[in-house]
Structure 1
């Protein structure tokens, strides 16, 4: 079947809102696909602003600064899907989105290389103490000195979190001649000559540079605290391009001031300004051999273009074909189109008897189901039905009447 050119809903009436200066690749993607109502804003919106703005929005694109709360979702009566044009989805209330049957998608791999390269670059800057020498040169002071400056080759890199980014960092580090040790909460197959350790303490006590690549949740909050910092190898370097809540910055500042640690690179913070130009403070400011960057680990032209393509395509696949691959809320389904049918999506609360009720309603009215797909999670079920074109209007009406229904939509 050729790629579908039409949906059941007029494309010019589908409202798409993109926030936080999402790549123009996303705007072009949807306009090339025939969607003319695409609005792009450069910044994030507050909860109050979002509630007003989202009323008639069908697809919403955000990055990491926009918080999608239950109140926002309650106001989003037409919302079908949220695209997080970034790695994480923790800025979205996933429980509320699931209950509303709103698909939440993201781009977990698109900026992996950008972050990994910056980790290696920062490692070189810190282990050579370039930060302090650069500052002195700008102030007119000549600091030509090899003391305390080292090569990466032969040093040990400790990776906490051996996932998509952690493994990329591992590969690059070995190319520089480094030894790699890592810890992950889940057993992972080492790449190259990397060696798994049983605990975080095993990693930080032997590594010259420690880099963090873990998600933000209850188990990782203040993962690096005053107690674990005591086990760091003297003079070692800490890099955090993961999540802001993972490191206790007060404790880190104390270790740096006391000389227990030799340097740090921090890109994420427990609190971050809403927009460029806003005032920003952290306990790490004005400390020697410390790199502070404004959450730019994945901010490269290549990464933003990749993310723009990736998330836009996922949103498009759901909107036009009902495909939910990579969804964090509605169960993930990937399915081929069917010739000569109309496709109907049915999202419902996951209780016994719903699928039986769907099939009973349709069979009683002699509506032939050409193909049917079902997947559930703890909260909801997702059914995709390909039915006879002549009877699809009747089928849609009947499916809306099924008890426990959350959303029903004809795709094509």
Structure 2
């Protein structure tokens, strides 16, 4: 088989694929138009988030058998069109689940203990201890919305914090484990102190977290989104923060992450959020560690090997 790789990957990807007998063309600088013009030559495509693999792209790929997404989400692939052409899809949520879980905990610790704010003040020669008194995760009720790979990894890492962990996943049944208790969303709205989103982006989850969703929490919560920005309506989150419905927010993802494409309303919402000390941002790097860079390759290649074995049976 011959593969086209259109995103930057850890250098280990090429020898790993070669071990499977796969010839790979590594073209991280290629764009949608260029990739579409050559994809007819390939049986496999490896992509991270370079562009949306739409029906038009797939129609130009008569030989394509496999798309490997270097990450967890599949929202940049037209899955219906891929199935129509009998193209197999794989992803690698196992590769960065621990990175995401650690990042979420890191953001929460930084926010709840005012680490970033205090650091900024001290650099301005301001020494305020009482104003920077923090809170502990211990004793809190943490709700994980979406209990797949990253949700489970977060619950496991939270087990050392002596907190209570609840989980809810509308797609699963009997999914609780020793790290989290399976509950309904009504129970989460009633009991949560901290809420972390770990959902894929689908038509059902797009704009799921709006003002009506947030105001259902019985007590003010800390809110974390490291999944997909489009799941949360930012202007509604801003309103909830201003009204004290949300005590603080950790955001690794945004509705629009291309700042040059922001509408005026989106820009004004972000500027208002930037002004709030109880909001912490990172640039979609929760799963972007040096270690996960390698593990994603390993997870993908393991699944590619399985695909080849099944295809040869």
- Shared fold per TM-score greater than 0.5: yes
Within the candidate set 126, 135, 138, 1:141 is matched to 126
Q: TM-score, normalized by length of structure 1?
A: 0.68
Please give the alpha-carbon distance, in whole angstroms, between the structure 2 residues aligned to 1:293 and 1:50: 30
SS at structure 1 position matched to 2:110: helix
Structure 1 residue 63: Cα displacement? 0.8
State whether structure 2 residue 309 is matched by structure 1 residue 309: no
State whether structure 2 residue 22 is matched by structure 1 residue 23: no
Please give the alpha-carbon distance, in whole angstroms, between the structure 1 residues aligned to 2:254 and 2:38: 28
Q: TM-score, normalized by length of structure 2?
A: 0.87
Q: Give the paired residue count.
A: 305
Judging by fraction of residues, say which structure has more helix.
2
Contact map agreement 1:234 1:260 (CA 8 A) in 2: yes
Please give the alpha-carbon distance, in whole angstroms, between the structure 1 residues aligned to 2:22 and 2:206: 41
Contact map agreement 1:82 1:103 (CA 8 A) in 2: yes
Q: Which is higher, the Rg of structure 1 or of structure 2?
A: 1
Q: Which structure 2 segments of 5+ residues have no match?
A: none
SS at structure 1 position matched to 2:95: coil
State whether structure 2 residue 47 is matched by structure 1 residue 62: yes
Please give the alpha-carbon distance, in whole angstroms, between the structure 2 residues aligned to 1:129 and 1:232: 23
How large is the Cα RMSD of the aligned pairs? 2.5
Structure 1 residue 146: Cα displacement? 5.6
Q: Pick closer, same or farther for the CA change 1:312–1:193 going to 2, 3 Å.
A: closer
Render the CA deviation track for 1:6-48: whole Å, top value 9, x for unaligned. Answer: xxxxxxxx54221221221112212344545522315x733x3
State whether structure 2 residue 230 is matched by structure 1 residue 206: no
Q: Give the 5 Å matches for 1:213-292.
A: 213-273=198-258, 283=270, 284-292=273-281
Please give the alpha-carbon distance, in whole angstroms, between the structure 2 residues aligned to 1:35 and 1:183: 40
State whether structure 2 residue 171 is matched by structure 1 residue 171: no
Please give the alpha-carbon distance, in whole angstroms, between the structure 2 residues aligned to 1:190 and 1:316: 30
Please give the alpha-carbon distance, in whole angstroms, between the structure 1 residues aligned to 2:91 and 2:24: 22
State whether structure 2 residue 113 is matched by structure 1 residue 124: no
Q: Which has the higher contact order (CA 8 A, sep 6+)?
A: 2
Contact map agreement 1:23 1:308 (CA 8 A) in 2: yes
Q: Give the 5 Å matches for 1:12-411.
A: 14-42=1-29, 45-46=31-32, 48-145=33-130, 149-185=134-170, 186-192=172-178, 194-199=180-185, 201-273=186-258, 283=270, 284-319=273-308, 321-323=309-311
Q: Which structure 1 segments of 5+ residues have no match?
A: 1-13, 324-342, 344-383, 385-412
